[in-house]
Amino acid sequence: MLFDTHVHLNADQFADDLEETIARAHEADVKYMTVVGFDRKTIPLAIQIAEDYDHIYAAVGWHPVDAIDMTEEDLQWIEELSSHPKVVAIGEMGLDYHWDKSPADVQKEVFRKQIQLAKKLKMPIIIHNREATDDIVEILKEENAAEVGGIMHCYSGPVETAKECIDMNFMISLGGPVTFKNAKLPKEVAEAVDLEHLLVETDCPFLAPHPNRGKRNEPAYVKLVAEQVAELKGLTYEEVSKRTTENALKFFRIKS
């Protein structure tokens, strides 16, 4: 059985067929999921879905692309929601230098505030990183994020940095890109990082794995990610699905 550790079933793309999407996930061996909320609209939806379905959990945080919109009230709101019994992590948070809606200094400030909040709450964090690996690692170190640990979601950086993150109590979560023919780094990471530090995810509706690349992604496809990881590590799918699910349950402190 599988745990898709990063889904956006709270996205508009699933508004019309959420029920069927979750049923397809179950048919594809996916038992657990974490729905990630990242702004005023998607956070309540993440919690709603977690309340409506068994084995679906929620994470609450503020996305770096929209960092410029986050107010002190939003941060307080995230803090209040963190005590909900199905909220298992703070995030996604981080840095995204691909889009320029929020200046880097604003993103860094909002990132640091959320790490500090997670430390106060003693909850793990989920990191979104796009073209900002060095700054993210620096901030995780400066803020001593190792105290709570976290997930490098949809990790696509080098092996070296993955190891640095593991040393700070972070899990490495692999998504659709590990299945792309031209994606060298995620494949290297899948090979080099020990299974005990790995998780799998879809980040659906984005980044659909091969051979569904370009289509709407959905949790059922996390099986393709796990199969690819198994192939790269020379292990069976059963071993990879079992171990990554155990890792995720332990990480999110879920009693199965």
Q: Are 185 and 155 in contact (CB under 8 A)?
A: no
Q: Within 25-64, which residues bind Zn ion (CB under 5 A)?
A: 36
Identify each DSSP E strand in the chain by its residue range. Answer: 2-7, 30-37, 56-60, 87-96, 125-130, 150-152, 170-174, 198-200
What is the smallest separation between the CB atom of 206 and Zn ion, expressed in angstroms?
Answer: 7
User: Among residues 108 and 128, whose Cβ is nearest to Zn ion?
Assistant: 128
User: Among residues 58 and 230, whose Cβ is nearest to Zn ion?
Assistant: 58
Give the Cα separation of 71 and 126 in Å (integer).
20
What is the smallest separation between the CB atom of 175 and Zn ion, expressed in angstroms?
Answer: 9
Q: Applying CB under 5 A, does 128 fall inside the site for Zn ion?
A: yes
For 46, the token pair is 């993440």
Q: Applying CB under 5 A, does 197 fall inside the site for Zn ion?
A: no
Give 204's DSSP letter: B
User: Among residues 7 and 230, whose Cβ is nearest to Zn ion?
Assistant: 7
Beta bridge partners of 224: none
What is the smallest separation between the CB atom of 127 and Zn ion, expressed in angstroms?
Answer: 8
For 152, the token pair is 């490098």
Q: Within 60-99, which residues bind Zn ion (CB under 5 A)?
A: 92
What is the smallest separation between the CB atom of 94 and Zn ion, expressed in angstroms?
Answer: 7
- Which positions lie near Zn ion, rule CB under 5 A? 36, 92, 128
